[in-house]
Structure 1
Amino acid sequence: MKNIKPYLTEDEQPAYKTLNEVDFSALYSYADYMRFEFEERLELIKGHLFKMSPAPSRIHQGISGNIFVPIYNALKGKSCRVYSAPFDVRLAKKMQDDKEIFTVVQPDIVVVCDPAKLDQRGCIGAPDIVVEILSPGNNKKELINKYEVYEEAGVKEYWIVSPTHKTFFRYILDENGKFQPTKMLTEGEEVTTSIIPGLKLVLEEVFQD
């Protein structure tokens, strides 16, 4: 976290009005993140800031909708909820104070089954399912870091979808808290999960333009 001058209260800390004011070599907390007033979207992973890709492409948006809608329909009448980006997910380790949270991500889609994790600002704690749809702007380091923080936080399932290759990877958290990959899926196959009984994602439909 950045050094804060001792004679300034938290409310007196300066806001960040442009992206140029942000030092990407510094470490930040969620409290810092909340002072960003510019339109550009950033994610915070273990205190490090990452620029998000430009506005998702039409194909990216289409795939997101093709995944979101079946999940939404399958969850009707159930306690789980599904949300799409922009939606802040704060992965707090122990303390839930804004100054003690160093990872804030905006996955494309999340499923949250514990209502206690939801508040006015999004989700605090691990969602049950996280879906990331790859885009040309995705940074390999960012993807590796996300895999690590999702695993450490206890996300039960992490789905990675590639529009370019029309592939669907699913990582499932085992009893030891480690992600185990399922086989790569593609068009002609279906995705189901025990977290959402009755859900059947037909990948031919997911990747349909």
Structure 2
Amino acid sequence: MPKNRLEAFTDGVIAIIITVMVLELTPPDGGSFSALWSLRYTFVIYLVSFLTLAVYWNNHHHLFQIVKSINGRVLWSNILFLLVISMFPFVTAWVGEHHIDSYAPEMTYGAVVLVTNIMFYFLIRSLIKASGTNSEINKLLGRGYNKPFISIAGNIVAVFFALVWPPLTIIIDSLLLLLWVIPERRIELHVARRNKEVPK
């Protein structure tokens, strides 16, 4: 089946999630810069969540550049991926409200990041299975592709570091995000080569 509707649906859901996060931002109680400064942690976690969603969207877009068709398994894998990232507005607001006084918000935030990465990995595996062993995606992201495992392992560590100092969870997950800021270079190079081979 064609992939266009899945991509359009994913784009729309992520856009809505980001919009909901923006709407969760409330103005300061007073009209001074000191009142605005009191919301600094709320803005920091909003920025972290916004960048996290942007990185997921960017990698999702690159992933589907090397996919020609999908099946029902891929559709459900993508739905589960979207289900988890739809929790970002909730956990972002919770961390913004209770950034230091309790470990539960940061631990929950870390768990959402962890499960999102697991769902993204399952999406990759579903696409490989749907495309076949000789497909572009299997050759590029099949055996030997370890970046998801590094991220997932780091996310697990980050969740439990909330018990040591809650902000450490956010810090570790943000550092792990650097692995994905630049989407898979092998995909970009492959798509560039493929486009050159297509006659104008």
Please tell me the TM-score bracket, short chain as reference: under 0.3
- Under a length normalisation based on structure 2, what TM-score does the superposition of the two structures give? 0.27
| Higher relative contact order, chain-length normalized (CA < 8 Å, sep 6+) | 2
Mark the structure with the bigger radius of gyration: 2
- Under a length normalisation based on structure 1, what TM-score does the superposition of the two structures give? 0.26
More strand by share: 1
